[in-house]
Amino acid sequence: MGMNAAAAAKEVQRIELTPAAALFRSLGDPTRLAIVRHLAAGPARVTDMVGAVGLTQSTVSKHLGCLKDCGLVDSEPIGRASLFRLTQPALIDLLSAAETVLAATGQAVALCPVYGMENGDLRREVAP
C-alpha cells in the first residue's frame, strides 16, 4: 500500500534536509570545528593548526582530509607544505550564528542528555 500525500510530502522534506544534516555532522567534531574556526581567520598550514588546536599532525591532517572530502576546505601546495583555506566563507557566519544560539539558550545544547557534554567530552550520538 502506498503512502498518502501528507506522508509522501514529509518524506520528501526529510530527504531534502539530508544534505544539511550531513553538513552539520561534518562540523560535529570538536577538532574539525576548531580547524574551521582557525581557518576562518585565514589560510594556514597543517603545522600552524597543530599548534592552534593542540593535537598531533596526523590527527589534524585526518580531519583536514574529512573537511576537504566534504568540500569545506581546499589546499594549494606551498613548497613542501600545503596551505589550507575555507572554500565557503559562509562557514564563518554559521559559526557566529551557532555562538549566538548557544548564548541565547544558555548553553542548553551542551547540557542535552543525548547530544550534550559530559565531563568535558562529547557523548556519542545515539539514534533516536
Spatial distance between the Cα atoms of 109 and 117, rounded to a whole number of angstroms? 8
* Distance of alpha carbon 104 from the chain centroid: 20
What would the pLDDT profile of 61-114 be if each residue is shown by its tens digit?
999 999 999 999 999 999 999 999 999 999 999 999 988 988 888 778 777 777
What would the pLDDT profile of 15-66 be if each residue is shown by its tens digit?
888 898 899 999 989 999 999 999 999 999 999 999 888 999 999 999 999 9
Quick one: pLDDT at residue 55? 93
Range of the domain at 66: 15-111
Quick one: pLDDT at residue 72? 96
How many domains does the chain contain in total?
1
- For cell 550534550, the residue is 116
**Within-domain flag for 119:** no
Who has greater pLDDT, 12 or 128?
12
Spatial distance between the Cα atoms of 119 and 128, rounded to a whole number of angstroms? 22
Who has greater pLDDT, 119 or 32?
32
C-alpha cell at 68: 576537504
Long-range contacts of 90-93 (CB under 8 A, 24+ apart): 91/36, 91/40, 92/40
**Within-domain flag for 50:** yes
**Within-domain flag for 58:** yes
Look up the CATH number of the domain holding residue 79.
Answer: 1.10.10.10
Who has greater pLDDT, 117 or 95?
95
**Within-domain flag for 33:** yes
> Residue 12 above 80 pLDDT?
no
**Within-domain flag for 46:** yes
**Within-domain flag for 6:** no
